[in-house]
């Protein structure tokens, strides 16, 4: 596939608020089921191993008219839950047979209860993950939680989830994670060749497509991108942080790049990058998933950092590894996790002499001019410093 075709395909998936591709997948064979999940992390391998399709539900973006959703939330609560409710009450999520709500924050936690109250015929599970990172304590708790989820998903799907099936799913998700790592490494090395708005769309496609199809699409994209030469701009290199839950409008990412910043690392669609290494595909799969979570998963605002010294280290490593020159904190308005974390991360960056700038957005922000100006000023200041 040519690059334009791939990007167009992803753009169409992104624009489709009716989840037509998911409906098509579901209707392609009888008995198929679909499970939605909110950001930030759920073990999608379990859904896959039950023969069901995991679908990332990421709010309504800037194209959805939120008419009913606002009646469910006070003005001081972020946008993603209200547009998600809007998607549901307008029937767009009818294709889902169940929803998983991860332990991201109090808003998503409470949304799980709202789902239980409003959609009583649907399968709803809250996915608790440990904030204690001792394998024998938090790890053991999580393994047992995974077992419960495995039983529940098996019952819903009508398919037993065997160790073999689960290990096969883990293997497919390992391949997907490897492809994504390759994509991120490629973008980091030559960000002009893989602009972030395109990378973002590719990652979003992974929230809808079957995992193997998504992996192939990433390989195709990398191959197509390598086959052409795109102009190199005199942009600075930045990491963006804060996009792990409520989604930025695509225009926001375009504005950052147009303002003179190449995004070389980010924290969107973390579900696909949560585990930093391959999960073993032999032995006890639940134990392996649990150990992966405890021993090598990303750091984000939804996760406790056990020591003061380690706070911010993950972000600093991301800056160093991607040879970034600064960080753009782009946090959803009213997002307690991101906004409470920000001062600590900024302090850690300052200690390392890493520059940053910060602003807030909402998924339906329309006015990008101020963001473009701020990102532009930030890019200019970085260039000035590196020239000095």
Partner 1 sequence: MNTAATDTADVQKEESMILQKAMISANYDALSTAHEEGKKISSTFVPGNLNELLMCFDFVRNLPEINALQAGMRKKSGGYIMEAERSGHSEDVCTYVKTDLGMMSKGQVGPNGKPLPTPDLLLLSYTGCFTFMKWFELVRDQYDCETAMLHVPYQADGKITENMRHFVVTQLKEHVIPTLERVSGVKFDIDRLREYLRESAKAEDDLVWVLQSAKNRPSPIDAYFGGVYYCGPIFTAFRGTRETTDYYRSLRVEVEDRLAKGLGPVTPEGTLEEERIRLVVEGPPNWTHFRDFWKMFYDEGVVVVASSYTKVGGVYDFGFRHDPDNPLETLADYCLGCYTNHSLPSRVDMLCNYMDEYQADGFLVNSIKSCNSFSAGQLLMLREIEERTGKPAGFIETDLVDPRYFSSANVKNRLESYFQMIEQKKARGQDRTAA
Q: Under the rule (CB under 8 A), what is the footprint of partner 1? A: 71-74, 76-77, 81, 101, 103, 105-107, 109-114, 116-118, 125-126, 128, 130-132, 134, 136-138, 140-141, 144-145, 148, 301-302, 304-306, 308, 311, 331, 333-337, 339-344, 346-347, 360
CA separation for the pair 198, 253 (Å, rounded): 10
- Judged by beta carbon distances under 5 to 8 A according to partner kind, the member of partner 1, ligand SF4, none in contact with residue 30 is none
Tokens representing residue 305 in the block: 């950092």
- Judged by beta carbon distances under 5 to 8 A according to partner kind, the member of ligand SF4, partner 1, none in contact with residue 388 is none
The CA-based dihedral angle spanning residues 319, 322, 326, 328, taken in that order and rounded to the nearest 10 degrees: -90
Find the shortest distance in angstroms from Cβ 31 to ligand SF4: 33
Query: Is 95 among the residues that bind ligand SF4 (CB under 6 A)?
Result: no
Considering the complex, state which of residue 260 and residue 332 has its C-beta at the smaller distance from ligand SF4. 332
Tokens representing residue 288 in the block: 């392996």
- Residue 264 three-state SS: strand
Find the shortest distance in angstroms from Cβ 336 to ligand SF4: 5
- Judged by beta carbon distances under 5 to 8 A according to partner kind, the member of ligand SF4, partner 1, none in contact with residue 268 is none
CA separation for the pair 380, 261 (Å, rounded): 9
Q: H helices within 16-67, ranges in order?
A: 20-27, 44-49
**Rounded to the nearest 10 degrees, what angle do helices 80-89 and 106-118 cross at?**
20
Distance of CA 144 to the CA centre of its chain: 25
Considering the complex, state which of residue 165 and residue 335 has its C-beta at the smaller distance from ligand SF4. 335
- Strand ranges, E, within the chain: 34-37, 53-56, 98-102, 123-127, 236-241, 261-265, 326-332, 355-361
Closest to 7 measured CA to CA, from 230, 189, 267, 174: 230
Query: Is 70 among the residues that bind ligand SF4 (CB under 6 A)?
Result: no
Considering the complex, state which of residue 1 and residue 339 has its C-beta at the smaller distance from partner 1. 339
- Residue 210 three-state SS: coil
Q: Who's near 71: CB < 8 A, 6+ residues apart? A: none
Find the shortest distance in angstroms from Cβ 120 to partner 1: 9
| x/- letters, 206..245, toward ligand SF4 (CB under 6 A) | ---------------------------------------x
CA separation for the pair 146, 109 (Å, rounded): 18
Span near ligand SF4 by CB under 6 A; candidates 26-34, 76-84, 189-197, 378-386: 76-84
Query: Is 80 among the residues that bind ligand SF4 (CB under 6 A)?
Result: yes
The residue count for the chain: 388
Considering the complex, state which of residue 110 and residue 193 has its C-beta at the smaller distance from partner 1. 110
CA separation for the pair 96, 34 (Å, rounded): 5
Query: Is 104 among the residues that bind ligand SF4 (CB under 6 A)?
Result: yes
Contact residues for ligand SF4, defined by CB under 6 A: 78, 80-81, 104-105, 107-108, 245-246, 332, 335-338
């Amino acid at each position: 596939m040519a690059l334009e075709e791939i990007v167009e395909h992803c753009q169409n998936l992104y624009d489709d608020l009716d989840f037509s591709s998911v409906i098509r997948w579901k209707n392609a064979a009888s008995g198929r089921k679909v499970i939605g999940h909110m950001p930030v992390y759920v073990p999608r391998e379990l859904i896959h191993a039950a023969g069901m399709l995991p679908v990332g539900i990421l709010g309504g973006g800037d194209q959805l008219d939120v008419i009913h959703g606002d009646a469910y939330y006070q003005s001081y609560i972020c946008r993603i839950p209200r547009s998600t409710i809007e998607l549901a009450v307008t029937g767009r999520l009818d294709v889902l047979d169940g929803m998983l709500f991860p332990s991201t924050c109090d808003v998503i936690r409470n949304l799980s209860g709202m789902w239980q109250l409003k959609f009583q015929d649907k399968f709803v599970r809250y996915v608790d993950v440990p904030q204690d990172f001792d394998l024998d304590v938090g790890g053991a708790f999580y393994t047992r939680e995974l077992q419960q989820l495995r039983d529940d998903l098996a019952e819903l799907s009508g398919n037993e989830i065997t160790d073999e099936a689960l290990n096969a799913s883990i293997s497919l998700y390992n391949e997907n994670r490897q492809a994504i790592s390759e994509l991120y490494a490629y973008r980091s090395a030559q960000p002009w060749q893989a602009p972030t708005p395109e990378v973002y769309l590719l990652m979003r496609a992974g929230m809808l497509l079957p995992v193997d199809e998504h992996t192939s699409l990433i390989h195709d994209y990398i191959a197509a991108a390598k086959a052409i030469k795109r102009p190199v701009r005199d942009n600075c290199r930045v990491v963006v942080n804060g996009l792990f839950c409520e989604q930025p409008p695509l225009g926001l990412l375009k504005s950052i790049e147009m303002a003179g910043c190449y995004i070389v690392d980010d924290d969107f669609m973390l579900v696909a990058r949560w585990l930093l290494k391959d999960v073993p595909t032999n032995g006890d799969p639940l134990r392996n998933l649990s150990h992966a979570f405890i021993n090598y998963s990303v750091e984000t605002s939804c996760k406790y950092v056990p020591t003061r010294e380690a706070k911010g280290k993950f972000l600093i490593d991301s800056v160093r590894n991607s040879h970034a020159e600064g960080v753009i904190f782009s946090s959803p308005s009213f997002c307690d996790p991101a906004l409470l974390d920000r001062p600590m991360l900024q302090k850690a960056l300052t200690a390392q002499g890493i520059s940053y700038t910060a602003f807030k957005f909402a998924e339906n922000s329309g006015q990008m001019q101020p963001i473009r100006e701020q990102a532009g000023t930030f890019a200019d200041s970085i260039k000035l410093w590196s020239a000095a």
